Structure 1
Amino acid sequence: MTDPLLQLHGDVLAAMRRGPRNFAKLAFALADDEEPADTDQGDFRDRVAAAGAGDGLTALWHRTLTGWDLAEQADWSTSPPRTDARRADAYDRLGFDTTLRKVLDHAVPVFKEPGPTIISTTPTWWYSRDTAAVRSFYWSAYEQLLRRKGWSDAAVAGLDEASHAVVERLADPTRPDAYGARGLVVGYVQSGKTANFTGVTAKAIDAGYRLVIVLGGTLNLLRGQTQRRLDMELIGQENILRGADPADPEALIGVDYQDDEDWPEKFVSHRDRPSVLGAFDIERLTTRDDDYKSLATGIRALEFDKQIRTQPLYAPDNLHRAAARVMVVKKNKSVLSKLIKDLKKIGGPLLSEIPTLIIDDESDQASVNTTDPKKWEEGKVTRTAINGQISQLLGLLPRAQYVGYTATPFANVFVDPGDGDDIFPRDFLISLPRPTGYMGVQDFHDLDRTDESAAGSAERAHVRGIYDDAHGDRLAEALDAFILTGALKLYRASHDPSLEGHFRHHTMLVHESVRMAEHADLALRISSMWHQAGYTSQEGHSRLEALFTSDFLPFADDGLRTPASYEELRPHVARARQLINSGGTPVLVVNGDTERDYDQPDLDFDRTPNVWKILVGGTKLSRGFTVEGLTVTYYRRRTQQADTLMQMGRWFGFRPGYRDLVRLYIGRAEPAGKTRTVDLYEAFEAICRDEETFRAQLTRYATLVDGKPQVTPAQIPPLVSQHLSWLKPSARNKMFNAELVEIRSPGEWVEPTAYPTAPADLRHNAEVWRPVLASLDPEPRVFVTLSEGDQGSYIRYPARTAVLSHSRLLGIMRDLAWGRPDLLAPHLEYLSDSSDTGCATDDWVLILPQTSGVTSVRAEMPGTEPLTLVQRQRNALGVFNRISGVSHRQSAERIAGRRPLCDDDPFATQFHQPRRGALLLYPTVDPSLGAPANLITQGAIDPAKVVLAAAFIPAAGSPGNQGSGVRFRAIDSSREGEAVISTVR
């Protein structure tokens, strides 16, 4: 049955490629009839107001209005995207009245979620929306597939926008001079990066890129997942069959998806070979099961036919008629060597004509050069194998565009920007927005809570420790949660059949160690616990009922059907147990040294109808591999690299229909004698803060000023931060090129030890400190501290004091001569930060202890009263060890707010203010110069013999401050001596 109104609106909107125009006038111009077309706004308004789910006309307008809302390029509007003002401009140009506007706003709310954040130097003029619309064969097919899969109009429009932002920053494939852009796209762990680079690939080949190389992980398991996604959602049935009749059984022999449950129904269909439809075909050079091999037909598969042989391939008349080649290859030395060897056979002149797109999935893994620059030969870069081969590919293909994808970009931004043959994103860096429906770190951590002692709503709903006082190890409880959540999924599917597709797989992940021997033992332990759990017994049901009542019913999603009592759920528990125990065991071990170890049918989420298993593994389950249906995680493995830890977060992702069922059992800090064990939950929260700081700074510097970018990617200020001292941003061998820029230390001691030895420098420092020493209170104050380890024993010491403004102390620290200025510079960077999140210190109390003892003597320096000298020995490296006294530090910590105030220490209490720091100053003599008494002449000492050593503690700040941390930047070998932005404000 035809829908005249839908057909009319479809024709009119199709003519609005350049933006909204007067709807009624355009409808009249397009009408075939002599009489004006039926454009009455009342019919349209009534249709939209009464429309139910699936109405085609409403869906059409949803796509159109959302696309106009999001468009960055809008010549027809001066209003920013994602605003009511932009929507109003569209209505004005359409000529819609107030009533219709209200109806449409109700049906299609303005999409105001943030878009991608872009820092770029690349011009975008070549790839306009008009250009994209003219050539959009594969993108249109991909877009339609996503809508059939249930993607919302807003989600599709957001993907369209983000993928367009990448493609427009590649070089124009038809440009006469070759240029290879380098970029990086930063997403979230398991947040749909593959969807983005599939969209980028579709748009890029539509635009003219004819060779696409996807570097798809380091395992066949991951490479095969990526190949299947591209085959299913982009390349399509007809290109896979290469013209064979899908109804002919013999023609299908050898097709790699014959055993795939989703073939062919869920694979995109172009209805015929694209070349027959006026587009161009895609030839696969790899398949689901076969990585790139030396081409059996020689180099023919990599040669491109030209319609006009006298013109280069990149000439439009040739380019838009040539088939595209797509390959998904492992980051493996042997595989890439074969590809490079075949490319070399073609020869430079021909390779220089091929517009190529190289997409590097998980680009911080294997792709980064991890050799130590200190071990390079003079003037020559030594590269690791994969990094060297990527460099060769980029050199062989002058028109190759490199786009790295990762959720953990720290290793990538530490690459030397001055190394033109490496993968630093010199042209653009794009941060993708957090997708709607995604469960990320923010869903498991309450980052905005102010009461540190109370768990917030996210933690209460989803996070459990791996121990509790009543039962000890909670692994058995995690198993109960797994079978219980499986039963809840079955219950929901029984009431809503549309959810069955989301519940096809149901998994639990147990990640304790990287050692394979321990995986086998753990799997045996879990299997034994499972079979002893008694899930069919009354005791087992009672235990599940108690867990359901206490831990799932209170957190049930109001929008999802949940049984009011366990009795309603009980019939589904048996089926859940049966599915999990299929094959006789509930456990799969996922590890190994070879690819063969991962070739497990029960682990193939594509070919196996239902994977309901407990997966036990380590490293191989911690990056890239998507654990479908993951609902319960038991995690206790520690690592010291933030990017590695974040990649282990397999519990992040999309959980349609079961967000409220997700549970994370994770290692929390437990008492262990007088020390605390590592809090993995705290570590993930610190990573989240690091990540949010990075993204926030990208957003800040992405804003154009006078139409120009504030910074290029190579000029990005130090954006990589570290909030936990033991949790580094990346592995040490990925940080050879990282430069420490700032150490944030509210409430933390900073004690410089690398003081100068030259007499002139020491005299200079004495002169810098002289006005401060002259301003010390003449009468000493008596501070009181509790002796460590001897409760009830107090230590009293006199000290001269002064109060200095923050600016004055900062000026002194900057003016002093230092033996190693680079060691203090990161601390000065923090002290110099006057932003809201910077150093929260207004002034400082200077404390100069008046020590006593057989080695303590008093002496004057020019312009000072007599001061007590202390003795400290420099070590073999020429620096002091700790100078400050433990008892002195207690009073300073009270002043700075790190230690509670104490009535027994009245002067520290008197000096304390919320934004005040403390500084201990020690006139120090190295005994290697002789006894202090021997250095004194007539009560005075030469300043060239004295080191004025300091230790300081900035104000601790409020309980909700960001705490300590560090920031890094990449060293640019090509910009030595040039100014770079080194302070984030």
Structure 2
Amino acid sequence: MEIQMQQETEEKFLPVFGIRATELFSRFASKLQPDELEKLKTETVSILKDCANPSLNKIQNTTNLVVGYVQSGKTMSFTALSALASDNGFRVIIYFAGNKNNLLDQTEKRLRKDLINDGKNRDFYKIHKNPDLGDLNKICNELQISSRPSILIVVLKNYKYIEQLAQIFDSQKIKNELKNSGVLIIDDEADQASLNGYAYKNSKSEEWEDDEYTATYKSIMNLRNSLPNHSYVQYTATPQGPLLISIVDLLSPKHHTVLTPGKSYTGGKTFFVDEPGLIIDIPDDEKFNSKRNNLTEPPESLITALQLHILSVAIVVKILKTEVFLSMMVHADREQDASQKFNSWVIDIIDGWIITLSSSENDVAYKTLIRQFEKNYEEAVREYKKHNETYPDFSEIKKHIPDIIKETNIELIISKSKRKSEDIPWDDYPSHILIGADMLNRGFTIEKLATTYMPRYSIGKSNADTIQQRCRFFGYKRKYLWSCRVFLPQDVQTEYREYVDHEEEMRKWLKENDSLEEVEQLLLHTPHLNATRRNILSKDIVTSKLSGWRKINAFQSNSIAPNKKLVEKFVADNERNFSLYKNFNSSDRNHRYLKLKMEEAVSFISEFIVQNMPDAARKQATLRYLKYLMTKQKTPLEFVYVIQMAYAGEPREREFNVETEKIDTELFSGHSPKGIEVYPGDREIKFEDSICIQIHNIKFKCENRKWAGKTAYTLAFYYPEDFATNYTGKLNESDL
């Protein structure tokens, strides 16, 4: 399978605001302050200008990364990007809208609202959801419409639907319509499902060609291969995957943009650094786990959280009237049985309160319940007092409590219920309580969330991106922030604080560094980010795949010319630095070498284009290995050997398989006793004190006219065994 490696385009273009982007931003002006709107414009242009120029009729593509906070407005960013892309020659915009149907439907609904605008912009945009070959003619017809609409394609992040899309774009009819125009792929939640899920398993195989690739990942590669001029933009709030080992492949981004949240955004820094009083402890004996601590009755902290939620609704909705409703989330455990248990408890508690409050005010149970609410009132207004904000007396709140409890809508959000965010009757009730786990994570919007109760029992250290995606309590909450409360166990709070430090430092690096390679180096060598270090290179990769000789085996016609230009320029620039390896008295066996500084070696390998997955993985792993070796604190590696094979002779002829586009015979010339000097074979042309890179110039031998007689350069790498030993010995086991 041929895969086109992303390439930086030489021809940059400056996006211009046309009628579509201007119209969209005029509507956004009612939601954003002037400086926020201007920032959105600037960042949208920044993202698009790094994309491949859509007006050039040539093979080109690029991959970019956009990093935002959780619940911070990434969707607004990519709808703005879509409108600007439509103004600037992108006729097709594809959205990978998550791997669940609720995320797919949510994205489609948002695009219809923001871009098509209740049909007012139907001349500008046509939308399709999960199209197949049956939609090919319709898409072709739409591409021929005189108003030149952009075709918006929303697709589930699943191999079945992405493969169908690849088949559509493989059609010659579509290719003809897309001449001199580009395709934009927007991968929402790019750290989920898109990346190769077999990365760890592949580290155990002995050769790159034996690697496996998840079906979704492979289908994305097939789609990109069917698009000659396209840009792939990854949106994520958790860039650990796209920035580290998970992208030692063809999805690796070359440019990045950090989104600025609006002024009213409240995220991890707000809750865990600036306003830690918004966090409330869940005692260890009230943490929930179906196996380790399967509670049999509702914990006191849950009852407290429910009462604080009712009090916050009274303050914010009924008295201050700054919101029309508020919500509470209960996230106990990923098992659906746990959500059902907590749902039953919440219903029983609310029903019990309704019965109690329906009795006489002189009833003992009534008085006891009101005293509980009055006791929690001090917590409910604590942050208002602290920040000198207006708040009501309990006597004013008390009269609203019975009605709020009776008007509370309770929703169980698990896969069995099939409830979506848009199915919730948000405006019909002043109070909502949503109970669930994984269904309430990524992509589910809990409107006006004020109170979060999350008693999950933490077993071992959580993945940073996983705990962040549970942060539904992040968002635009500034208007009612002093009524927000987040109930968490102490160990989970510690994980969040560590993550916030991690996130803020990463965003700082991303803003300050133009190159993702520079950011990656900071990540790899920062001690307090050890949780991410296991993603550098596994011990198995270093000791098996980065030892001995490894060759780049595949060739694609569109990479041969740029690689030839790269190698010949490199040789010309270093002509005076080469030395003869040894005189074997034959132009085919005489080779020369030079010592190349590590920085220059990294640059040379980076620019050498490879276009199939095993070779791309080999190349990227080599780059990471070199970067590690060159930055070791005690004994950094300063140079590598570059060996130009048969430098004075003709290109060496090799059998070529047209179907696989690989050399069918051995790249290396073997041992030969003939001649004045015994030739040890190409494998012995190496040094043991550093990594070696052989440059081979070969001539294809085959019957195919396209390939026969064509010459091309390829590379072979030699990794001395001592370096693998040194690598795995120096790194702590916990780092691997």
Cα distance, 1:634 vs structure 2: 0.9
The aligned residue for residue 282 of structure 1 is 125
Establish whether residue 155 from structure 1 lines up as the match of residue 42 from structure 2. Answer: no
In structure 2, distance between residues paired with 1:234 and 1:974: 50
Superposition map of 1:600-749 within 5 A: 600=419, 604-605=423-424, 609-610=428-429, 612-637=431-456, 638=458, 640-668=462-490, 679-702=491-514, 711=515, 713=517, 716-719=520-523, 728-729=531-532, 735=535, 737=537
Unaligned runs of 5+ in 1: 1-119, 239-268, 275-280, 287-291, 308-317, 447-456, 669-678, 703-710, 741-821, 834-972
**Cα RMSD after superposing both structures:** 3.7
In structure 1, distance between residues paired with 2:527 and 2:432: 36
- Residue deviations 1:333-386, cap 9 Å, x none? 332233233333446843763511110010000001021223556535421111
3-state SS, counterpart of residue 262 of structure 2: coil
Aligned CA distance change for structure 1 residues 608 and 658 (closer, same or farther; 3 Å): closer
The aligned residue for residue 491 of structure 1 is 318
Aligned CA distance change for structure 1 residues 357 and 603 (closer, same or farther; 3 Å): closer
- Residue deviations 1:479-538, cap 9 Å, x none? 1011111111223454xxxx44xx34x221111211112221222122222333445633
In structure 1, distance between residues paired with 2:261 and 2:193: 26
3-state SS, counterpart of residue 728 of structure 1: helix
Superposition map of 1:839-854 within 5 A: none
Determine if contact 1:511/1:618 at 8 Å carries over to the other structure: yes
Aligned CA distance change for structure 1 residues 486 and 611 (closer, same or farther; 3 Å): closer
3-state SS, counterpart of residue 479 of structure 2: coil
Higher helix share: 2
In structure 2, distance between residues paired with 1:522 and 1:211: 46
The aligned residue for residue 332 of structure 1 is 158
The aligned residue for residue 294 of structure 1 is 132
- Aligned match of 1:184 in 65, 83, 97? 65
Determine if contact 2:280/2:485 at 8 Å carries over to the other structure: yes
Aligned CA distance change for structure 1 residues 220 and 478 (closer, same or farther; 3 Å): same
Aligned CA distance change for structure 1 residues 558 and 736 (closer, same or farther; 3 Å): closer
Establish whether residue 525 from structure 1 lines up as the match of residue 337 from structure 2. Answer: no
Q: Which amino acid aligns with 1:483?
A: I
In structure 2, distance between residues paired with 1:613 and 1:530: 12
Determine if contact 1:185/1:429 at 8 Å carries over to the other structure: yes
Number of paired residues? Answer: 525
In structure 1, distance between residues paired with 2:135 and 2:174: 20
In structure 1, distance between residues paired with 2:718 and 2:406: 65
3-state SS, counterpart of residue 275 of structure 2: helix
The aligned residue for residue 778 of structure 1 is none
In structure 1, distance between residues paired with 2:272 and 2:716: 41
- Residue deviations 1:142-163, cap 9 Å, x none? 21212223x1111111111111
Establish whether residue 540 from structure 1 lines up as the match of residue 352 from structure 2. Answer: no
Cα distance, 1:198 vs structure 2: 1.0
Cα distance, 1:975 vs structure 2: 9.4
Establish whether residue 168 from structure 1 lines up as the match of residue 11 from structure 2. Answer: no
Determine if contact 1:509/1:614 at 8 Å carries over to the other structure: yes
Determine if contact 1:507/1:631 at 8 Å carries over to the other structure: yes
The aligned residue for residue 35 of structure 1 is none
In structure 2, distance between residues paired with 1:736 and 1:576: 52
Determine if contact 2:133/2:167 at 8 Å carries over to the other structure: no
- Aligned match of 2:275 in 458, 474, 478? 458
Determine if contact 2:510/2:516 at 8 Å carries over to the other structure: no
In structure 2, distance between residues paired with 1:410 and 1:335: 26
In structure 1, distance between residues paired with 2:718 and 2:484: 50
Determine if contact 1:351/1:397 at 8 Å carries over to the other structure: no
Cα distance, 1:688 vs structure 2: 1.0
In structure 1, distance between residues paired with 2:718 and 2:246: 12
Q: Which amino acid aligns with 2:225?
A: G
Determine if contact 2:513/2:519 at 8 Å carries over to the other structure: no
Aligned CA distance change for structure 1 residues 326 and 365 (closer, same or farther; 3 Å): same
TM-score by length of 2: 0.64
The aligned residue for residue 98 of structure 2 is 217
Q: Which has the higher contact order (CA 8 A, sep 6+)?
A: 2
- Aligned match of 2:182 in 355, 364, 373? 355
Q: Which amino acid aligns with 1:408?
A: T
Q: Which amino acid aligns with 1:336?
A: I
Aligned CA distance change for structure 1 residues 723 and 686 (closer, same or farther; 3 Å): farther
In structure 1, distance between residues paired with 2:246 and 2:378: 55
Q: Which moved more, 1:615-624 or 1:348-357?
A: 348-357
Aligned CA distance change for structure 1 residues 656 and 699 (closer, same or farther; 3 Å): closer
- Residue deviations 1:146-191, cap 9 Å, x none? 2223x11111111111111101111221123231110111111111
3-state SS, counterpart of residue 181 of structure 1: strand
Aligned CA distance change for structure 1 residues 600 and 625 (closer, same or farther; 3 Å): closer
Aligned CA distance change for structure 1 residues 622 and 473 (closer, same or farther; 3 Å): same
In structure 1, distance between residues paired with 2:442 and 2:260: 20
3-state SS, counterpart of residue 485 of structure 1: helix
- Aligned match of 1:590 in 397, 403, 413? 413
3-state SS, counterpart of residue 539 of structure 1: helix
In structure 2, distance between residues paired with 1:178 and 1:357: 14
Determine if contact 1:722/1:728 at 8 Å carries over to the other structure: no
Cα distance, 1:713 vs structure 2: 4.1
The aligned residue for residue 441 of structure 1 is 268
- Residue deviations 1:923-955, cap 9 Å, x none? xxxxxxxxxxxxxxxxxxxxxxxxxxxxxxxxx
Aligned CA distance change for structure 1 residues 203 and 696 (closer, same or farther; 3 Å): same
The aligned residue for residue 374 of structure 1 is 203
In structure 1, distance between residues paired with 2:141 and 2:245: 34
In structure 2, distance between residues paired with 1:458 and 1:724: 23
- Residue deviations 1:589-608, cap 9 Å, x none? 2222xxxx353378624886
Superposition map of 1:230-249 within 5 A: 230-238=111-119
- Residue deviations 1:300-320, cap 9 Å, x none? 32455559xxxxxxxxxx8xx
The aligned residue for residue 344 of structure 1 is 170
Q: Which amino acid aligns with 1:340?
A: A
In structure 1, distance between residues paired with 2:425 and 2:227: 34
- Aligned match of 2:403 in 575, 586, 589? 575
Unaligned runs of 5+ in 2: 1-6, 287-297, 359-365, 541-624, 637-714, 728-736
Determine if contact 1:507/1:612 at 8 Å carries over to the other structure: yes
In structure 1, distance between residues paired with 2:89 and 2:334: 44
TM-score by length of 1: 0.49
- Residue deviations 1:695-717, cap 9 Å, x none? 22223323xxxxxxxx4548842
Superposition map of 1:825-844 within 5 A: none
Establish whether residue 507 from structure 1 lines up as the match of residue 327 from structure 2. Answer: yes
In structure 2, distance between residues paired with 1:429 and 1:363: 13
Determine if contact 1:363/1:404 at 8 Å carries over to the other structure: yes
Establish whether residue 126 from structure 1 lines up as the match of residue 7 from structure 2. Answer: no
Cα distance, 1:541 vs structure 2: 2.5
- Residue deviations 1:887-920, cap 9 Å, x none? xxxxxxxxxxxxxxxxxxxxxxxxxxxxxxxxxx
In structure 2, distance between residues paired with 1:168 and 1:737: 33
Aligned CA distance change for structure 1 residues 125 and 140 (closer, same or farther; 3 Å): same
Determine if contact 1:468/1:474 at 8 Å carries over to the other structure: no
Determine if contact 1:299/1:345 at 8 Å carries over to the other structure: no
- Residue deviations 1:270-322, cap 9 Å, x none? 5xx64xxxxxx211112xxxxx1435454332455559xxxxxxxxxx8xx42
Cα distance, 1:395 vs structure 2: 0.5
In structure 1, distance between residues paired with 2:111 and 2:222: 25
Higher Rg of the two aligned structures = 1
Identity %: 23
